[in-house]
């Protein structure tokens, strides 16, 4: 199989070990694999075959669509698989690069982190060509795939640990021009909620790496709590198609469906509530509730010590309850609630 070379190929230590017989420049539809050499106890000369698909037709933008960054988030991968099967290359103007199960070991395990190295892929960018398997996949995406692209869609859900109101997400680029193009794209996604996210300085995510490459970046959170959300699937497929219409990759006839959206943001660290003790978190409010500063968010109860007084967790600001922990069992420091406020420039 012919290898795809990194843009840093002149630096031997920076070459990606991943190879593929997919041709990123070929017209039409291709479905295949990125092969990462991997040698565990059970397979001396094997690979991790990461699924990839390319649909290309003539000139136009290149959009990278990623799912399975976390292996327990199912809505994005389901929708991307459907698009790979159903899209006719003749309807495309430009190029679509699909990575529907990019963290394949985690996807197979239904796990947030990869079972082969214990890594959370969304804390490994821009990756390392000589690192662990997860770091090597991140490096390939950052050094080979992102330089081909104009826009990046990173489709996430709450996974096993969170239940989230289905939404489209964006990080706020520093560059005003890129910020405007990104906001236009996330508004075109047209989810019930449009959320500007404060990452608290986190720079190791796929979205942060794509922003550093100057791409328009659209994220999502699609509900779930460890299940497949029907609402999340509907929001995801409609939103992805809306953005591809907006970018000119899919035809504008029929026009994308528009529904009301609410533009909000995660303001900062005080938007998060963390478990104050080990035990069972008993929430006090349903998702979508407006809550006030110092109002109890819930309490940690102790099933093995029923006479012990529960420990209350409180909101540190007023806001809209966007996200809540799904499993009842918590350890001190687990995130249990996230609030939104109206977006302000």
How much is the pLDDT for 255?
Answer: 65
Which residue would you say has higher pLDDT here, 255 or 11? 255
Q: How confident is the model at residue 14 (pLDDT cuts 50, 70, 90)?
A: confident
Model pLDDT, residue 199 = 66
Every domain range in the chain assigned CATH 2.40.50.100: 269-342
Percent of the chain, pLDDT > 70?
94
Q: How far apart are CA 290 and CA 23, in angstroms?
A: 50
- Mean of pLDDT values over 113-134: 97
Residue located via tokens 């190029």:
95
Which tens digit of pLDDT belongs to each residue from 166-216? 999 999 898 999 999 999 999 999 999 999 986 667 889 999 999 999 999
In this structure, which topology does domain 12-265 adopt according to CATH?
A: Aminopeptidase (3.40.630)
The pLDDT of residue 12: 54
Between CA 145 and CA 138 the distance in angstroms is 10
Q: Are 121 and 130 in contact (CB under 8 A)?
A: no
Short-list 272, 327, 326, CA closest to 297:
272
Q: Residues, the chain, total? A: 345
In this prediction, residue 8 has a pLDDT band, given cuts at 50, 70 and 90, of very low
**For all residues of the chain together, what is the average pLDDT?**
92
pTM beyond 0.85, yes or no: yes
Q: Is 58 exposed, middle or buried (0-12, 13-18, 19+ CB in 10 A)?
A: exposed
Q: Residue 51 above 50 pLDDT?
A: yes
CATH topology of domain 269-342: OB fold (Dihydrolipoamide Acetyltransferase, E2P) (2.40.50)
H or E segment at 177? helix 176-189
Yes or no: say if 98 and 53 are a contact pair by the CB < 8 Å rule: yes
Locate CATH 3.40.630.10 in the chain. 12-265
Q: Is the pLDDT score of 103 beyond 90? A: yes
């Amino acid at each position: 199989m012919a290898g795809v070379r990194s843009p840093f190929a002149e630096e031997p230590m920076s070459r990606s070990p991943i190879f593929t017989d997919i041709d990123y420049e070929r017209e039409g539809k291709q479905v295949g694999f990125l092969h990462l050499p991997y040698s565990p106890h059970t397979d001396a000369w094997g690979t991790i075959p990461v699924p990839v698909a390319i649909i290309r037709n003539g000139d136009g933008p290149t959009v990278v669509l990623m799912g399975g960054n976390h292996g327990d988030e199912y809505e994005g991968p389901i929708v991307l698989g459907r698009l790979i099967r159903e899209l006719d290359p003749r309807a495309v103007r430009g190029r679509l690069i699909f990575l529907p199960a990019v963290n394949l070991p985690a996807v197979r395990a239904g796990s947030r982190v990869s079972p082969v190295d214990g890594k959370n892929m969304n804390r490994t960018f821009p990756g390392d060509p000589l690192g662990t398997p997860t770091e090597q996949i991140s490096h390939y995406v950052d050094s080979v795939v992102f330089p081909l692209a104009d826009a990046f869609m990173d489709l996430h859900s709450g996974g096993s640990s969170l239940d989230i109101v289905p939404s489209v997400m964006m990080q706020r680029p520093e560059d005003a021009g890129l910020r405007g193009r990104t906001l236009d794209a996330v508004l075109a996604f047209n989810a019930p909620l449009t959320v500007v996210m404060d990452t608290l300085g986190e720079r190791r995510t796929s979205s942060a790496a794509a922003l550093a490459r100057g791409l328009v970046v659209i994220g999502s959170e699609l509900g779930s709590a460890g299940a497949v959300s029907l609402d999340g699937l509907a929001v995801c497929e409609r939103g992805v198609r809306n953005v591809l219409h907006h970018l000119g990759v899919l035809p504008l006839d029929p026009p994308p469906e528009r529904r009301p959206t609410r533009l909000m943001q995660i303001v900062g660290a005080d938007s998060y509530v963390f478990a104050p003790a080990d035990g069972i978190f008993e929430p006090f409010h349903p998702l979508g509730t407006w809550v006030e500063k110092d109002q109890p968010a819930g309490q940690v109860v102790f099933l093995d010590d029923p006479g012990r007084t529960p420990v209350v967790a409180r909101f540190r600001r007023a806001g809209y309850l966007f996200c809540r922990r799904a499993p009842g069992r918590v350890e001190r420091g687990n995130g249990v609630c996230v609030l939104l406020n109206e977006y302000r420039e």
